[in-house]
Amino acid sequence: MARIFITGSSQGIGAECARQLLDLGHEVVLHARDQSRVDATLQANPTATAVVTGDLASLEDTRALASAANEQGPYDVIIHNAGVGGGTPAAVMTADGLERLFQINVAGPYVLTALMPPAPRMIYLTSGLEADGAWTPEDLQWTSREWNGMQAYSDSKLHDSMLAFELAARHPEAIVSAVDPGWIKTQLGGPDAWDPVELGAETQVWLATSDDPVATTSGQYVKRREVHEPNPIVKDADARAELVAALERATGVALP
């Protein structure tokens, strides 16, 4: 039996990951954005061990979330699933002065990673759109470019893949994977997506629990249990170091 923490697990792929892992007999700690979502989160997965709360659009909330999650640990697996899409017509700045999509999709998992002990297995959700992501270190938060929501989303998923590969390089004792779940029928994926939510969760569940050689090899980009090549910048150690440095400046949190 493993103890597993899943961010963004009140609905969608995260909730389905939790359901499948609970059905397999594992202990799962769920995450909801705020207290108003706790009841619905537990209704979806009533046998979960606990629900912790925190809005990744707030650095204060994210730090508190890391603390609350640590109280429920330690974990055998952490799945960084939480994220938002790129459908906004304009860039939105948070109270922390960060672009909202960047803060939730990239700074959020970065801060949690920095403030939580490394788990033996860590899984970061990316997207096939990371292939279209552009490495623009001089403007990570779209302060000088004309806003393009889908490009910003693609960029954020590129950054998530980079973060996963950087953690794999820094922690050879752990198994760290980046996962493309596919285009899934969820609130984020939309009604035109062609894959069911069960399929969107299946690879993460497998990576969390399997002894298969692919599932136990770190530093890979995985989709449907198969290894794929990520955006080439993901394997650029200098670019990854530049991203980590930018995230440290933006959040005030250093990556150990």
What does the angle CA 69 – CA 75 – CA 80 come to, to the nearest 5 degrees? 65
CB burial of 39-67 (b: ≥16 within 10 Å; e: otherwise) equals eebbebbeebebbbbbbbbbbebbbbbbe
Choose the catalytic residue: 75, 110, 124, 157: 157
At which residue do the structure tokens 């959040």 appear? Answer: 251
Q: What is the largest CA-CA distance in the chain?
A: 49
Residue 235: active-site member: no
Residue 185: active-site member: no
* Rg of the Cα atoms in the chain: 17
Locate 83 and state its tokens.
Answer: 């994220």
Q: How many residues does the chain have?
A: 256
The single-letter DSSP state of residue 103 is I
Residue 20 has φ and ψ, to the nearest 5°, of: -65, -40
Choose the catalytic residue: 124, 153, 185, 221: 153
Residues with catalytic roles: 153, 157
